[in-house]
Structure 1
Amino acid sequence: MTGLTHRWRAAALSAGATRPTAVDDAGAELVARWQEPHRHYHTLAHLTAVLDVVDRYAPAAHQPDLVRLAAWCHDAVYDPRAPGDRNERDSAALAEVLLTRVGLPAAEVAEVGRLVLLTAGHAVDPADADGVLLCDADLAVLAAPEPEYDRYAAAIRREYAHVPEPDYRVGRARVLSGLIALPTLFRSAPLADAGQARARANLTRELAALTGREPGGEVFGAT
């Protein structure tokens, strides 16, 4: 068992799972999903990064082990061709199947499913401590230094290699604009203080490159 699957096992058992063998089987299935060949950003590296943020700020959560389980499940289904929030809905459904199978109580299963669904739009009530932690951890890459952010953006483009460039620019710009429009990208004080400005700068810079507009709004490169 790898260090990563140890983390899954520990979180599941601590949260109330009663079937250790089923826990191990579910962990193996999740690892296999996160290693699918079409993934370039939504990989085990992303999962590990999200879990690391959750662990770092776990004292702020009400039920940190459920947040950890939601982190494991939040991109467990990832098909770049799926429309809308289909991946999040399918990931939540998978979480419910796997966590029921391992013997997690029904209320906890439902809560993990709820948390997974929040990652569809990252619009979360600031009073929802567990939702805040999961969404902030999922978006933490946005506050990375420019070279790391650029690698993230390039990896997302590879996941959508099937989309023609003009269509990708429109779709990606819509995603970025939605994130920029959020009242705040990070709701937990430590992440907000450390990363809010850099995340907005990264998003604005990528959006400018996609739309042919400088951050100030002037068109450049127009024909």
Structure 2
Amino acid sequence: MENYLSHAWQQLASRYTSDQALITGLWKELEKAYAGKSRHYHNLLHIETMLRFAEEHQSALGSPHLVRFAIFYHDAVYRSTRSDNEEKSAQLAFARLQELGLSLAEADIVVEMILATKTHESHGNPDVDYLLDFDLAILGASWDAYLQYSQQIRKEYSLYPDFLYNKGRQKVLRHFLDKDSIFQTAPFKANLEGQARHNLEKELQLLST
């Protein structure tokens, strides 16, 4: 996994700079962030999964390189006790991408993509919609995979007792179920929407028992 990720980062960053020390240093920073002990789901495997989705749907992306940068940085800052993770991750991305040599406009687009992962609402930019669907694809996985994901999320919020966590989690699940569509793009709607709704409803039932 780490070979895949480090290679993907090397290829991506090398498009903008030849400074190998900088490329390696920024990768080490990302690797350390995502390998934190409290990262049970929002970790390197999540990043790899999203990057593979980006490969699969590359032909549909207008700026695939910017989408990949957004994937690498969207959860770079993650604390279950905070509500500004996306903002902090976007700030870090903005600074680091300018170091790599991206233009201000390109860095701004990546920031916009990362901030969109806070609410997962439909966006005017199709690249953002695909990024959001890559991020939420686990919701439409098989029940066994979804159950494992939900258990990993619970571990990330282990600080909170069940009565608090369950109440908050139920609110999140209902938020997605109340949407006209959980996914934004045609392929994800067609392939994952039904299973995602089944999974969310089933977890809601478990939390209510």
Structure 1 segment 105-144 matched on structure 2, within 5 A: 105-125=103-123, 127-144=124-141
How many residues align? The count is 208
Contact 1:146 1:202 in 2 (8 A): yes
Q: Which residue of 2 aligns with 1:90?
A: 88
Give the Cα separation in 2 of the matches to 1:52 and 1:183. 27
Q: Deviations over 1:46-98 (max 9, x none)?
A: 11111111111011111011001100001110101113xx0011110110111
Q: TM-score, normalised by structure 1?
A: 0.89
Give the Cα separation in 1 of the matches to 2:120 and 2:14. 27
User: Residue 17 of structure 1: CA displacement?
Assistant: 4.3
User: Residue 156 of structure 1: CA displacement?
Assistant: 0.3
% identity of equivalent residues: 33
Q: TM-score, normalised by structure 2?
A: 0.95
Q: Which residue of 2 aligns with 1:6?
A: 7
Q: Which runs of 4+ in 1 moved over 3 A?
A: 16-20
TM-align CA RMSD: 1.4
Letter in 2 for 1:76: A
Based on CA coordinates, which of the two structures has the bigger radius of gyration?
Answer: 1
- Confirm or deny that 1:49 pairs with 2:54: no
User: Residue 19 of structure 1: CA displacement?
Assistant: 3.8
Instruction: Extract unaligned runs of 5+ from structure 2.
Output: none
Give the Cα separation in 1 of the matches to 2:49 and 2:152. 15
User: Residue 187 of structure 1: CA displacement?
Assistant: 1.9
Give the Cα separation in 1 of the matches to 2:4 and 2:189. 29
User: Equivalent of 2:148, from 151, 163, 188?
Assistant: 151
Q: Deviations over 1:174-218 (max 9, x none)?
A: 111111122211222222111110001101111122234xxxxxx
Instruction: Extract unaligned runs of 5+ from structure 1.
Output: 213-223
